[in-house]
Amino acid sequence: MNRGPEYLLEALHVVKVFGTLRANDDVTLKVKPGEIHAFLGENGAGKSTLVKMIYGALQPTSGEFRWMGQPVTIANPAAARKLGIGMVFQHFSLFEALTVAENVALAMPGDFDMAKLSEKIARVSKEYGLPLAPTATVADLSVGERQRIEIVRCLLQEPKLLIMDEPTAVLTPQEADQLFVTLTRLAKEGCAVIYISHRLEEVKRLCHNVTILRHGKVVANVDPARENAASLAKLMVGGDIHVVRGNRKHAAGDVRLKLDRLSLDPDGPFAVELKEISLDVRAGEVVAIAGVAGNGQSEFFDAVSGERILHRDSMLQIDGKPMGRAGVNARRKAGAAFVPEERLGHGAVPAFSLSENVILTRHASDKSLIRSGLVQRGDASGISHRVIKDFDVRKGKPDPEARSLSGGNLQKFVIGRELDRKPGMLVVNQPTWGVDAGASATIRQAIIDLSRQGSAVLVISQDLDEIFEIADRIAVISRGQLSDAYPADKLTAEKTGLLMAGEHEIKEVRHAAGA
């Protein structure tokens, strides 16, 4: 009886070089049919480069891939899909103005009947526990439902290997549980899954095998059932991870940030309206805003940072001073600091050096940077070097362009630049998005330390593990409305997930939390 090849995919001595950087260095690994195989590693370890080669988006410098035992050249993503390789990217590629069926149709090869395709979408999505309405407009769907489109689009092509990049980053706990059920079923049916995630507990729960990369090399291949999150993290970074330490028994001080019935009209066809948001953030505490992406987080950050001017001054107060009509620089002068979600392009200008990026956000609040109308580049360089040292920002030259840093290192710099000011109030959006375990611990501890020095810290995050690790109080934003802020020790991830699911659940959670 011919059982077929033991391995579905093999990478043999694969090397990928960009200039002087060896992004993948002699990578050898094997993936079996029906196996959920995790790729773990720090930012810049080579995971993304490797899966892009498997999906045909990049070509190896040397080495080879084998598919079902045979050497193969995967020339492009279309060739990968023809082999049976599908990929669900971390950032979705969907047209919001089109329907579910129309978005799926864009990826389908050859001619097809739209009515039959819609029927197939409804049937397959239901069978795999990912129900979708083919006629629904994408703009009206939650982020979890949008991810379903990407997965179903792959499933319709009957893949033998499915690559998933940070799939639970934008999901509620309940949606993540359903995704795990779906992936487990796919594996039992013989489909292999390559799973990239920074969430080590879910890797232990879901995956059969783990390959760990560091500096482009494979450093370990382990059974996750025999490891714990700490041991996996240690293998990733080559040493112990800093343990984040907080103290929830401290007393909070005066209100430093006050939002009073803050409302904001949508500024585009797919923007979210903010409705009557009220919140106090006190000195010495971290307040976290949880929520599924697309429920008003971006609009909320713009309103609090001053990128969108509010209708009334009284809607936002900093240390008792009404500033709703003030812009970003005026709020910075009042002691506030802001870290946006998009680090490259919003948090930092890609082509500017790190010291030049220091000047951009600190010239209004730091008088040492501008004297007699002249920019003090030496002082800016001094600040940049201090941040690089304090936050272990790894770089190739003394003052590199922002775009030359890996995502995790740029995130450490952007947050460190603001924390270095010792602001009285900090608002940070997605502080550790796509950041490895070591960098996450550094950033989270710095946020807690700033609050314990008397600052008020407001964190917007989709990562519930992060929220429960750093927050003193937690509120949830859903459809542009904000729930009450509950003490973190009064909530669980499940109760928070119900709040994230929608306002109609809020009363149930209030009762469960004993409010």
pLDDT of residue 77: 93
- Are 408 and 43 in contact by the 8 Å Cβ rule? The answer is yes
Do 470 and 454 share a structural domain? Answer: yes
Compute the Cα dihedral for 333, 339, 342, 343 and give only its sign: positive
Query: Which of 420, 448, 483 finishes a domain?
Result: 420
Do 161 and 68 share a structural domain? Answer: yes
Do 230 and 301 share a structural domain? Answer: no
Mean pLDDT of 93-113: 87
Structural domain boundaries, residue 206: 9-237
pLDDT of residue 242: 63
pTM above 0.75, yes or no: no
Residue 506 pLDDT exceeds 50:
no
pLDDT confidence of 1, banded at 50, 70, 90? very low
Mean pLDDT of 84-94: 84
- What mean pLDDT value characterizes the chain? 88
pLDDT of residue 129: 84
**Does some domain include residue 329?**
yes
Give percent of the chain above pLDDT 90.
Answer: 55
Gap between the Cα atoms of 409 and 402, Å rounded: 10
pLDDT of residue 281: 97
**Does some domain include residue 4?**
no
Residue 111 pLDDT exceeds 80:
no
Do 162 and 58 share a structural domain? Answer: yes
**Does some domain include residue 258?**
yes
* Domain total in the chain: 3
Q: Which of 229-233, 391-395, 455-459 has the lowest mean pLDDT?
A: 391-395
pLDDT in tens, 317-326: 999 999 999 9
Instruction: Give the CATH number, domain containing residue 511.
Output: 3.40.50.300
Do 127 and 141 share a structural domain? Answer: yes
- Are 508 and 498 in contact by the 8 Å Cβ rule? The answer is yes
pLDDT of residue 294: 78
Note the helical H segments in 325-463.
328-333, 354-362, 377-390, 407-419, 437-452
* Relative orientation angle of helices 407-419 and 437-452, to the nearest 10 degrees: 10
pLDDT in tens, 472-487: 999 999 889 999 999 9
pLDDT in tens, 344-375: 888 999 999 999 999 988 887 777 777 777 77
pLDDT confidence of 504, banded at 50, 70, 90? very low
pLDDT of residue 249: 65
More confident residue, 288 or 439: 288
pLDDT in tens, 28-44: 999 999 999 999 988 77
pLDDT confidence of 89, banded at 50, 70, 90? confident
